[in-house]
Structure 1
């Protein structure tokens, strides 16, 4: 029995047994298409269809949205999403495609939207039928998020939106976007308001989505241009001018505050994807030959480096467990920011170590049949930089931890 299971309440224990039994009978088979390493890199309809079908199946079985009220499409349970997540991770299921919807949009909509909007949008978000994206960054506003200039002008009971969002993951498949907009140009923070807006239904009618091709060849990023898009006022979240406060709800969950409440299954080991873990680097080291008899795993220096990564991963895992201790949550940003910062940098270090294990063959990419592990590790390393930038760069995270958590002087 796992340590988590030993601490289960009676409701959680019963639900865990149900999840385990259902997953044993319903875990999806090997996909016929190559899956991306992350849901943010879904590029084809075939990839999306496979992953959407899996999320819908898990939702119908009650493994998604467990802790949300039944009235908004949830399961009506208490502290059970963590259980479902743990069992899906243990079963090594595919990830869910609607990662932005589940991890950021759902809690933001739930805490700040009108009741009719919650009931309308959340069920299809949980099921994965509607994919969501996030409209925060702009060409002139990245780390300084409060400088966004995409403007919403009020006309009766509607708002007309004009502007430009960028680095918008999944916008090419998204039905809806959570978006931070400027509604008053005379105030930086109080001039911001928060909306949910339709994307797919407005293509060519006020919305243009253009892919941004990365050095990896993937097209998960997009830019989204708004040209007189009209949306109803009921899709405004919270009060006018409270957009910055609503955005903090989104960012706290993006940085990990709601991680244990968010269905983030992943780690399925198949020909299509490799989890970025030191354990998989060990497998890689055993497979990478050094001469006729030895492998990279026989190199004492590499063995030491891999062990250091295992220790870092275990330290991160134990730190994440602390989020269950209420007494340690006196500051809402402390543990989420720590975990986001460490998780992104540890993943980058692990991918870099894998390239060192591969040696010269780390220059071979996905299309080369001689590439170790199907060329997944060079791809993982290049993509790892996105994780140290998303939700605020590592430098921003350190500044926030230093200034707002530790009380240090502001950096200059």
Structure 2
């Protein structure tokens, strides 16, 4: 029996067994297309459709949106999403494509939208039928999120949006965007309001989506241009001028508050997907020749592998603290630590993998001689996005130091 199973309530234990039984007979087979390493790098419609079908199947079976009320399309359970996630990771299922919708949009809509809007949006979000993206960053407002300038001007019960969002993952497939807008130019924080915007139906009619090609060759990022896009006031979340407070809900969940509604590290061990963890690095070392031995026999590499394995295990145990109410006196404490550690551990794993591969790490993804199909160099480059998204590692450390530990502000 796993450690998680030992602490389940009777209801949770029953649900866990249900998840295991369902996954044993319904886990997808080998995908017909090569999948990206994460949902944020989905580039083609065949990739998207395969993953959407998997998310819809899991949702119909009750493994997605478990902890949300039934009236908004959820499962009406309590603290069961983590169980479904654990079992999907255990079964090595594919990831869900609607990662931004599940992890960021869903909790924000649930806590801040009007009831009718929740009931309209959340079921199709959970099922993956509607893909979501996030409109926060701008060319002049990255880490300083409160400086966004994309402006919404009120005209009766409508708003007219003009501006430019950038680094917008999944915008090329998204039906909806959560977006932070400036509605008052005279106040930095109180001049912000938060909306949901149906960007798919507005393509060519006020919305332009342009791909941004990364150094990896992937096109998951985009820039989104708004030109006189008109949206109804019913798409505003919470009160006018409360956008900063609503954005904090989004960021807390992006950084790991609560239980993310999709497993973070699932993925079938095949050419289609790639896992960044200590076990995968050790397997690579055992299969990489070094003279008459392997990279796993190098004492320096073995020491680095063990250090990262210890950090990984410590991080897994640390995540359990998010369910200890006494440790949640500050809402940013656990999420910020988790986001900071997870991104840097993944980067350390990928960097070590490149050192294990040696000169062969320079081979391109499509090179037949590239170790592990060229997945490790790709993973390493993508981890830099992880240490930037939701606030850079430097920003996370500043917030932890100043707002959690009470240290003086950095200059």
RMSD: 0.9
Q: How does 1:130-141 map to 2 (within 5 A)?
A: 130-141=130-141
Residue of structure 1 equivalent to 2:91: 91
Decide whether the 8 Å contact of 2:211 with 2:219 is kept in 1. Answer: yes
Note the alpha carbon deviations across 1:229-276, whole angstroms, 9 max, x for none: 011100000000000000000000000002355554613211112111
Residue of structure 2 equivalent to 1:398: 397
Note the alpha carbon deviations across 1:87-110, whole angstroms, 9 max, x for none: 111101000000000000000000
Report which stretch shifted further, 206-215 or 251-260: 251-260
Decide whether the 8 Å contact of 1:194 with 1:247 is kept in 2. Answer: yes
Q: What is the distance in 1 between the residues matched to 2:29 and 2:404? A: 45
Could you tell me which runs of 5 or more consecutive residues in structure 2 were left unpaired when the two chains were aligned: none
Q: How does 1:322-341 map to 2 (within 5 A)?
A: 322-341=321-340
Decide whether the 8 Å contact of 2:81 with 2:259 is kept in 1. Answer: no
Residue of structure 2 equivalent to 1:311: 310
Residue of structure 2 equivalent to 1:257: 257
Structure 1 position 347 matched with structure 2 position 355: no
Q: How does 1:43-122 map to 2 (within 5 A)?
A: 43-122=43-122
Report which stretch shifted further, 260-269 or 115-124: 260-269
Give the alignment's TM-score, normalised by structure 2.
0.99
How much has 1:194 moved relative to structure 2? 0.1
Structure 1 position 238 matched with structure 2 position 238: yes
Decide whether the 8 Å contact of 2:146 with 2:244 is kept in 1. Answer: yes
Residue of structure 1 equivalent to 2:186: 186
Structure 1 position 277 matched with structure 2 position 280: no
Task: Please give the secondary structure, in 1, of the residue aligned with 2:43.
Answer: coil
Residue of structure 1 equivalent to 2:221: 221
Task: Please give the secondary structure, in 2, of the residue aligned with 1:259.
Answer: coil
Decide whether the 8 Å contact of 2:89 with 2:263 is kept in 1. Answer: no
Decide whether the 8 Å contact of 2:161 with 2:228 is kept in 1. Answer: yes
Residue of structure 2 equivalent to 1:35: 35
Decide whether the 8 Å contact of 1:162 with 1:226 is kept in 2. Answer: yes
Residue of structure 1 equivalent to 2:301: 302
Q: What is the distance in 1 between the residues matched to 2:383 and 2:255? A: 16
Task: Please give the secondary structure, in 1, of the residue aligned with 2:118.
Answer: helix
Change (3 A) 1:261 1:209: closer
- Report how many aligned residue pairs link the two structures: 411
Report which stretch shifted further, 395-404 or 280-289: 280-289
How much has 1:367 moved relative to structure 2? 1.0
How much has 1:115 moved relative to structure 2? 0.6
Decide whether the 8 Å contact of 1:179 with 1:197 is kept in 2. Answer: yes
Decide whether the 8 Å contact of 2:39 with 2:98 is kept in 1. Answer: yes
Note the alpha carbon deviations across 1:146-187, whole angstroms, 9 max, x for none: 000000011111100000000000000000000000000000
Decide whether the 8 Å contact of 2:132 with 2:174 is kept in 1. Answer: yes
Change (3 A) 1:260 1:153: closer
Decide whether the 8 Å contact of 1:176 with 1:196 is kept in 2. Answer: yes
Decide whether the 8 Å contact of 1:162 with 1:227 is kept in 2. Answer: yes
Decide whether the 8 Å contact of 1:81 with 1:263 is kept in 2. Answer: no
Task: Please give the secondary structure, in 1, of the residue aligned with 2:201.
Answer: helix
Give the alignment's TM-score, normalised by structure 1.
0.99
Q: What is the distance in 1 between the residues matched to 2:265 and 2:367? A: 29
Task: Please give the secondary structure, in 2, of the residue aligned with 1:360.
Answer: helix
How much has 1:79 moved relative to structure 2? 1.1
Q: What is the distance in 1 between the residues matched to 2:263 and 2:294? A: 38
Q: How does 1:281-292 map to 2 (within 5 A)?
A: 281-291=281-291
Q: What is the distance in 1 between the residues matched to 2:306 and 2:260? A: 27
Task: Please give the secondary structure, in 2, of the residue aligned with 1:202.
Answer: coil
Could you tell me which runs of 5 or more consecutive residues in structure 1 were left unpaired when the two chains were aligned: none
Note the alpha carbon deviations across 1:203-238, whole angstroms, 9 max, x for none: 000000000000000000000000000111000000
Decide whether the 8 Å contact of 1:183 with 1:193 is kept in 2. Answer: yes
